[in-house]
Amino acid sequence: MPATENSSASESAVGVPWRSPALLAILAATLMTPMDVPMISPVLPEVQSVFGVSESRAGLLITLYALPGIVLAPVIGALADRVGRRYVLSGCLVVFGLAGVAVWFTDDFSVALGLRVVQGFAAGSVLSALAMTVVGDRYTGHQHDAVMGVTSAMLSLGTAAYPVIGGYLATRVWNAPFLMYALTLPVAGLVLWTLDERRTESGSSDRGYLREALQTIPARRAFALYGVMFLSFSLLFGGLYTALPFYLTGRFGVTATTVGLVTSAVLLATAVVSTQNWRVTARLSTARHLAVGFLLYAVGFLIVGFADGQTALVGGLLVFGLGSGLVTPTLFGGISSLAPTHVRGGVMSLQTTTIGISQAVGPIAFTLLSGEIGYQRTLLGAGFSAAVVAVLLFVAR
C-alpha cells in the first residue's frame, strides 16, 4: 500500500495537507454536493411559468429528488465498503452529473421530474457522506479534525454560492443551471485517478454486513450523535431556511434578494469557523464542543426574535452561523470516527438519511408552529429549545 496521510506520523500531524491530490479530490467532490437543492431552488418560479404548473408541482423537482437518497444512502454506503470508495463515489458523480445535464435537453416537465429522481439515486448528500468517509479512512488525530473542518466549510461555501449562481442563470434560460452539473464529470475522473483504496479486513467474515456494523460501533454514542445531528439540521432547515425568510419579509419588509444575501452571510460565517474547528476540538470534548455550538444557536435565535432593527438581526444570525461552524464538522468528524474502515461507508451514509429526515421534519414543524403562535415566538421557542440541548450536552458524559 502506498504511503499516505494515514501513516503512523499522521497521529501527531496537524493542519490541512493542501498539496495532497487526494484532498483536492475530496474537496472537489464535496463542492458538488450543494448543487442538488440550493442551485435549483431559484429555478422553481421559472419552471412554474414555462410549464404552466402549480407551485406545488414545480416543488416536486425538489421533493422527488430527495426521496431516493433518504432510502438508498445506507445501501450505497455499504456498497462503498464492499466495492471501494473511489469506484462508488466516482460512479455516483457520473450519475448525478449526467442526469442533471439531461434536464437541459428536455421540454417535458414529466421527463424533468424523472431525471431528478434518477439524480436522487446519487443525491448530493450521498456524495458528501462518501467524501467524508474517505476523510475518515485517510486521516487521524487532529489532522482528521482539520480536514473534516475544511470539508464542512466547502459544503457551506457551495450552499452560499449556488443560489446566487442558479438564480442568475435561470434569468437567462430556465434550464441553464442544469448545465452546471457537467462539472461533476471531471471531478469523477479526478476521484478515480487520485484516490487509492484503504481497506481493513472485517473482524469475522462469516457475519453479515449489517450485524457486523451494529456490533462494531458504540451504539449509545452513535445514537447520541445522530440524534444531535437531527436536532441541528432541523433547526437549520426549519429555522434558517424556512421560518426566517417569512419572518424577515413580514416584520422587516426586506426583499427576497436581501434574504438571500443574509443567508449567504450566515453560511460564510459557518465556513470560516469550520476551517478552524479542529483547534477547538483539541481543547474540548465532543459533548462540550457541541454544547457550545448549541448555546450559540440559542443566543442567535433569541437575538433574532427580540431584534428591533436589522443590525441586531444580522448580528444574531451571524452568531447562529458561528454555532453551525462548530456543530456541523464536529458531528461529521464524530460519526466518521465511530466505525472501523470496513463498515465506515455504511455508518457514514446514515447521516444522509438523518439529514433528509431533518429536511422533511424541520420545515413542517416550524411552519405548523408558526401558524399557531407566529414566526417570532417560534424562533424564540427554537432558541430556548437549543439552550436546553446545550445544557444537556454540558452535563453529558
Residue 9 has pLDDT above 70, yes or no: no
Residues 217, 323: Cα–Cα separation, whole Å? 27
> For residues 373 and 159, which has the higher predicted lDDT (pLDDT)?
373
Look at the block and give the residue holding cell 457486523.
212
Q: How many residues does this entry show for the chain?
A: 397
% of the chain exceeding 70 in pLDDT: 89
Average pLDDT of span 57-64: 81
Could you say which of 1.20.1250.20, 3.30.1330.10, 3.40.50.800, 1.20.200.10 is the CATH number of the domain covering 216-395?
1.20.1250.20
- For residue 244, the SS3 value is helix
Give yes or no for a contact between 128 and 30, defined as CB atoms under 8 angstroms apart.
yes
Q: Which three cell numbers stand for residue 57?
A: 408541482
The answer to whether residue 385 scores a pLDDT higher than 80 is: yes
CATH number of 20-195: 1.20.1250.20
Q: What local confidence, expressed as pLDDT, does residue 7 receive?
A: 38
Q: What is the pLDDT of residues 147-158, one digit of tens each?
A: 888 888 888 888
pLDDT of residue 301: 95
Query: Taking 90 as the threshold, does the pLDDT of residue 294 lie above it?
Result: yes
Which residue in this structure is represented by grid cell 499522521?
Answer: 10
pLDDT at 31 over 80: yes
- Give the closest residue to 178 by CA, choosing from 113, 110, 99: 99
- Quick check: 141 pLDDT over 50? yes
**171-188: pLDDT as tens digits:** 888 899 999 999 999 999
Range name among 18-27, 220-229, 250-259, 360-369 with the lowest pLDDT average: 250-259
Reported confidence tier of residue 12, pLDDT bands at 50, 70, 90: very low
| Domain locations in the chain as residue ranges | 20-195, 216-395
For the record, the C-alpha cell of 384 comes out as 430556548
- Give the pLDDT band (50/70/90) at residue 388: very high
Q: What is the pLDDT of residues 32-51, one digit of tens each?
A: 988 887 888 778 778 888 88
pLDDT at 122: 84
Mean pLDDT across 299-318: 90
- Nearest-Å Rg of the Cα atoms of the chain is 21
Report the SS3 class of residue 3.
coil
Which grid cell is 94?
Answer: 457520473
Listed in sequence order, the residues at least 6 apart from 321 whose beta carbon sits closer than 8 Å to its beta carbon are: 265, 266, 267, 268, 269, 270, 273, 300
- For residue 304, the model assigns a pLDDT of 92
Distance CA 241, CA 233 (A): 10
* Residue 63: band (very low, low, confident or very high) from pLDDT cuts 50, 70, 90: confident
Q: Which residue has the higher pLDDT, 85 or 293?
A: 293
The pLDDT, as a whole number, for residue 56 is 73
Q: Which three cell numbers stand for residue 281?
A: 476540538
Mean pLDDT of 309-335: 89
Question: 3-class DSSP state for residue 368?
Answer: helix
Stretch among 148-162, 259-273, 375-389 having the lowest mean pLDDT: 259-273
Distance between CA 388 and CA 394 in Å, rounded?
10
| pLDDT exceeds cutoff 70 at 214 | no
Residues 6 or more apart in contact with residue 251 via CB below 8 angstroms = 375, 376
Kindly give, in sequence order, each residue whose CB lies less than 8 Å from that of residue 74, ignoring residues fewer than 6 positions away: 346, 349, 350, 353
pLDDT score recorded for residue 204: 42
Cα 255-314-278 angle, rounded to 5 deg: 125
Q: What is the pTM of this model?
A: 0.76
| C-alpha grid cell, residue 233 | 439540521
Fold agreement between 20-195 and 216-395: yes
CA dihedral 166, 170, 173, 177 (to 10 degrees): 20
- Per-residue pLDDT tens over the stretch 219-240: 888 889 999 999 999 998 888 8
Give burial (CB, 10 Å; 0-12/13-18/19+) of 230.
middle
Q: To the nearest whole percent, how much of the chain has pLDDT over 90? A: 29
Helix (H) or strand (E) holding 359: helix 341-373
CA atoms of 148 and 314, how far apart (whole Å): 27
Can you give the pLDDT at residue 161? 86
